[in-house]
Structure 1
Amino acid sequence: MTPLDLRALLAHPANGRARVLVESAGAEAFAGVVVAARETLLPERGDGELAALTEPPPSAPWQQDALVRRVRDRGFRGLALSGAEALGAGSRGLAARLGLTLLAVDDPMALARAAWELVQGRDALTLGYVRRVAQSIEYSAAHLADLLRHLSASVGHGVALIDAEGVLLQAGGDLPEAVRAAIDFGLWQDAVSVAEGAAASVRVDSPSRAGLRLAVFGSGLSPAQLAALAVAAEVAMPAVAARILIDEVADVSDAAVASGLLREFLEARDARDPDVEQRMSERGWRMGGYHLAFRIAGRRRLETLELLRFVRRNLAALPVDSQAVTSGRGVTGWLSFAEPPAADRLDEHVAAVRALHDNVRRSFDVATGVGSLDSGASGLLRSIDGAVDGARIAAGRAATGWFVRVDALGIEQVLLSWAGSDTFVPAAEALLAPLVSQGPELLETLTAYLDHESGVSATATALGLHRNTVAMRIARAQEVLGVDLTDTDARLALHLACRALR
């Protein structure tokens, strides 16, 4: 017969809500459990077992002390009582000195049944867990997270959907990272136990999502419990795989609708469309207030729906209203605020988007741009425009980690992908307007100078001018524009602006 492990008993989901009042040294396991109404009905010799009494303890302190002493004298190593919190400090101290573990339990009979399952071993535990899983699967879940919540509530342990990178969804607690890291993703079924906790897991047989595992986890789980939970996880897995497929179909449809709605909003530009804005509001997209948009664009082909899922999971952890939508070869999103955040808070939100970008970069080859904070529906449009332009810039900016915040660019705000951008050409014209007003020579010379990598001699040769003439024109151009051409960012911005006008 398997010894009754105290930690496993406390971890059992149907233990009658047992909790430890006094834990004596060396009481990690009992020989078994004996149930009786009162102490006088217990066997004469307990032989290291746990005594579970259905009647509450006496109220007088001396009677409580006598109960503790008699149970220990009979050879029992533990005593579980309904209403055990009524035991005074003296009786608890006596139990500790005598080496008797005290448990409080709401339902002693449930505790006895849980103990019997643990003592009898895997078959009884497995039957119990599988029965609970079957009951939870009968429930019509609204989505995958809802199904995991019902599984967790039924089995009485945490349930998580994981992959090799981390936890995707979980219910009933937080799966410790050390436990997840110990799981062997190469096995069909696995059970692990480390200092931080234990888990039984099974590979999810999903045709669309490779590398997933369903894990049932907790602390204090015995080997018998882990073996039983592994079978329970395998029974639950087909329902989880089916729910993943159902949710994916719904996700694809919803993503297409959201993407189309965003496209309508962007294409309308300044011609406000009340119908479009109404549908945006119905989706929970706030039109009023203030918005900070971001664009995460693939630097090469990628699965946009997977990117969207990844982005939404990360956004869910932020304490701010956020949206994310597939758009072209990437994801466009924004943070919304009822009131404009202070400068330091705004910097924190941008830092959160940067952290999101860094997380995304671990799995996807992307570049990210962040627009300016702006208000209202038209402000959302402008912020998205800035984010899109920032992403174009970031795609060529390895030095910044493929991340650009438009507000931080200064003169680089003209770096907006000079190939026909709606926002770049006006910005380039505005930037170079002071130079154009001086006549064509300065703009022509500056353009040639930048085309020839800021070489005065090469520029003079290309234009058929004297070196001193080129040098004077470049100095004059810097003065008119108010820029420093030794600044590489300013020089690159001017170069693209000159090309755009040319």
Structure 2
Amino acid sequence: MSDSLDLAALLAHPAGGGVRILAGADPATPWRDLVVGATESDLPPQGADLLALLTSPPPATPWQQDALVRRVRDRGYRALAAPGAEAFGSGTRTLAERFGLALLDVDEPMALARAAWELVEGRDALTLGYVRRVAQSIEYHADNLADLLRHLSTSVGHGVALIDSEGVLLQAGGELPAAVHAAIDFAPWLDLVSVADDAAASVRVDSPSRAGLRLAVFGTGLSTLQLSALGVAAEVAMPVVAARILIDEVADVNDAAVASGLLREFLERGDDRDPELDQRMLERGWRSSGYHLGFRLVGRSRVDTLQLLRFVTSELTALPADSHAATSGRGITGWLSFAAPPAPSRVEDSVRALHVLHTAARRVFNVATGVGTLETGSSGLVATLEGAADAARLAADRSATGYFLRIDALGLEQLLLSWTGSDTFVPAAESLLAPLLARGPELLETLASYLDHESGIAATADALGLHRNTVSTRIIRAQELLGLDLGDPETRLAVQLACRTVRR
């Protein structure tokens, strides 16, 4: 005998024969071993600190059940397991409690006997059993990483989780306790931890695309032997998990590229109808009919748009609306769709939910978020997405709003300013102001300050520290070079926006 046998380990064994506690059992009390007999008379005469396992059901009458319990306990046994033991009446169970005899019901006595042997004597057999179950799970087709973890958990008989230092990324077969996660050491190749009744064996995942991952197999009541065996099983399963991560990464990249291209085609199409494009959008679940609320997240610094898309997509599942998102440029463009006109309160709730999403994203990514207006139909979807893009562009410089802006809250001047960052306006602004740029910065700076101070000569002179006559001369010269009449309000606004764009 190399180890003791305890009930918690038997209960945690994935092939324990369906053992259940009826009475008098203390999972923390170990037994020396398990002995098997067809009936009570077949058991060894001395059973000190042993578990007695009968392969035949116990007697049916209460007095015979009481007598069986007395005889087993008098011979020193600490526990009695039998198929059909649920037939023991309440009186017999109370008697067992008084004697300190554990009563256990078991569906498959010989499976329980083998599990006990593995826990006490057959260390290699226990490990081999777990490894065999891992191999069996791999034989099943897995649609994705989550599906693979479900197969592993079902086969191994314990919880399985993919984790990093921040928390649980995916899990199946239960929830990894927070205390166990906190106790895991992410540095070594293999780590075995126990916290109270919970334990986990974890191994570092050798993934070239996602560093810092570990595959953990966890459960309650695991013995040291079981935990060690599960460590080997985790090592065997890890390459398969790493390969699945890579496969899913490639699939995600391809899918994101397709979605991004489809979104770009839709936005470029504008009001033109394209039945083939509409069909491809429908195949992705993108419906242009109905009512839409667009949003856009852009990186204020370099961000991994694919990781950001995964995060946004995951967060959107909690929103009570049909939601879509795709990578677009250096950010994510998405929208919420409603089949019927949503009430104003629902729109406000949706905006608040997007703000919550933005706040959560800010903890991981340096992003700004803009939200468009509620629009309807295909052209409305384009409009709300363009509005969200304008709002996001402005939000990137608005620390006071937490880098979150709603297009409804912006004024006309701010919307025009957002347009000045577009690919079409910048070259137009540079072309318009080229005569001034060719003569140095003085004329451009004076003109910009003049327009920003509402065409006030005195205010401009004070702001630049110049004489008023100098300002007047420069403004006249600038108008001559540009060939424009700054007395026209529309011309003045256009030149002001161009100056701001060129001077950025």
TM-score strictly above 0.5: yes
Alignment partner, residue 51 of structure 1: 52
Q: Which amino acid aligns with 2:20?
A: R
Equivalent residues in 2 for 1:370-409, closer than 5 Å: 370-409=371-410
Cα offset for 1:355? 2.8
Q: Name the CA shift for 1:18/1:369 in 2 (closer, same or farther; >3 Å).
A: farther
Structure 1 residues 455, 105: closer, same or farther in 2, change over 3 A? farther
Instruction: Structure 2: state its 5+ residue gaps.
Output: 426-447, 470-491, 500-504
Aligned position for 1:81: 82
> Does the C-alpha gap of structure 1 residues 139 and 408 become closer, same or farther in structure 2, counting only changes over 3 Å?
same
The 10-residue stretch of structure 1 (112-121 or 260-269) with the greater mean CA deviation from structure 2: 112-121
SS in 1 for 2:187: coil
Q: Distance in 2 between matches of 1:102 and 1:382?
A: 71
Residue 280 of structure 1 aligns to a residue whose secondary structure is helix
Between 1:173-182 and 1:368-377, the stretch displaced more is: 368-377
For 1:352, the aligned partner's letter is A
Correspondence 1:248 to 2:269: no
Q: CA deviation at 1:271?
A: 1.9
Return the alpha-carbon distance in structure 2 between the equivalents of residues 95 and 498 of structure 1: 95
**TM-score for the superposition, normalised by structure 1:** 0.81
Distance 1:373 1:496, change over 3 A: farther
Residues 43, 344 of structure 1: CA spacing in aligned structure 2 closer, same or farther, 3 A cutoff? Answer: farther
TM-score by length of 2: 0.81
Instruction: Indicate whether 1:158 and 2:159 are aligned.
Output: yes
Q: Indicate the residue corresponding to 1:7 in structure 2.
A: 8
Matches of 1:162 and 1:392, distance apart in 2: 35
1 CA distance for matches of 2:308 and 2:253? Answer: 12
Unaligned residue ranges in structure 1 (runs of 5+): 425-446, 466-494
**Any residues of structure 2 matched to 1:59-208 within 5 Å, and which?**
59-120=60-121, 122-195=123-196, 197-208=198-209
Counterpart CA distance in 2 for 1:290 and 1:236 is: 46
1:411-450 Cα deviation digits (max 9, x unpaired): 78737624155999xxxxxxxxxxxxxxxxxxxxxx9799
Which digits, 9 at most, give the CA deviation of each residue in 1:281-322, with x for residues without a partner? 101223333333221111122221222222223334545432
Partners of 1:122 and 1:398 lie apart in 2 by: 60
Is structure 2 residue 317 aligned with structure 1 residue 300? no
Query: Residue 410 of structure 1: CA displacement?
Result: 7.0
Q: Which stretch shows the higher mean deviation, 57-66 or 150-159?
A: 57-66
Return the offset for 1:452: 4.8
SS of corresponding position for 1:351: helix
SS in 1 for 2:80: strand
Q: Which moved more, 1:286-295 or 1:409-418?
A: 409-418
Counterparts in 2 of 1:207 and 1:277: CA distance versus 1, 3 Å = same
The residue correspondences of 1:305-320 to structure 2 (distance < 5 A) are: 305-318=306-319, 320=321
Q: Which residue of 2 aligns with 1:364?
A: 365
In the alignment, the residues of structure 2 paired with residue 208 and residue 348 of structure 1 have an alpha-carbon distance, to the nearest angstrom, of 37
1:404: how far off? 2.0
How much has 1:381 moved relative to structure 2? 2.2
Q: Separation in 1 of the partners of 2:411 and 2:109?
A: 71
**Counterparts in 2 of 1:83 and 1:26: CA distance versus 1, 3 Å:** closer
Q: 3-state DSSP class of the match of 1:15?
A: coil
Q: In structure 2, what residue type is equivalent to 1:356?
A: L
Deviation at 1:371, TM superposition (A): 2.3
Partners of 1:122 and 1:227 within 8 A in 2: no
Tell me if 1:232 matches 2:233. Answer: yes
Evaluate the alpha carbon distance shift between residue 197 and residue 498 of structure 1 in structure 2; reply closer, same or farther with a 3 A threshold. farther
Q: Which moved more, 1:338-347 or 1:243-252?
A: 338-347
Question: Aligned in 2, Cα 1:376/1:132: closer, same or farther, shift over 3 Å?
Answer: same
Cα distance in 2 for partners of 1:257, 1:111 equals 53
Q: Residues 26 and 382 of structure 1: is their aligned pair in 2 closer, same or farther, counting only changes over 3 Å?
A: closer
Shift of 1:327: 0.7
TM-superposition CA deviations, 1:194-230 (whole Å, max 9, x none): 1372211111111111111111111111221111111
Change (3 A) 1:207 1:305: same
Kept after mapping to 2: 8 A contact 1:418/1:500: no
User: Offset at 1:156?
Assistant: 0.7
SS of the equivalent of 1:46 reads coil
What displacement does 1:460 show? 8.3
Q: What is the rounded CA distance, in whole Å, between the counterparts of 1:416 and 1:156 in structure 2?
A: 60
Q: CA separation of 1:108/1:26 partners in 2, compared to 1, >3 Å: closer, same or farther?
A: closer
Larger radius of gyration: 2
Assess if the C-alpha contact under 8 Å between 1:393 and 1:415 holds in 2.
Answer: no
Aligned-pair distance for 1:188?
0.7
- Root mean square deviation, CA, Å: 3.1
Q: What SS does the corresponding residue of 2:373 show, helix, strand or coil?
A: coil
Partners of 1:286 and 1:261 lie apart in 2 by 13
Q: Which position in structure 2 is the counterpart of 1:274?
A: 275
> Aligned equivalents of 1:8 and 1:181: distance in 2?
23
Q: Cα gap change, 1:20/1:334 in structure 2, threshold over 3 Å: closer, same or farther? A: farther
1:328 corresponds to: 329
Query: For the residues of structure 1 that align with 2:34 and 2:413, how far apart are their CA atoms?
Result: 76
AA matched with 2:215:
L
1:188 maps to a residue whose letter is W
Q: Tell whether the 8 Å contact from 2:390 to 2:415 is kept in structure 1 after alignment.
A: no
Matched with 1:211 is: 212
